[in-house]
Amino acid sequence: YLAGITLPGADLSNADLSFVNLQGAMLRNAILIGARLEGACLSEAILVGAIYDDRTIWPEGFNPPQEAINCDRNPEYERC
Q: SS in 3 state form for 37-60?
A: CCCCECCCCECCCCEECCCCECCC
Give Rg (Cα) of the chain: 11
pTM of the model: 0.89
CA dihedral in degrees (2, 39, 64, 3; nearest 10)? -10
Q: pLDDT value at position 1?
A: 64
Mean pLDDT by 10 residues, the chain (80 residues): 82 97 95 97 96 96 94 77
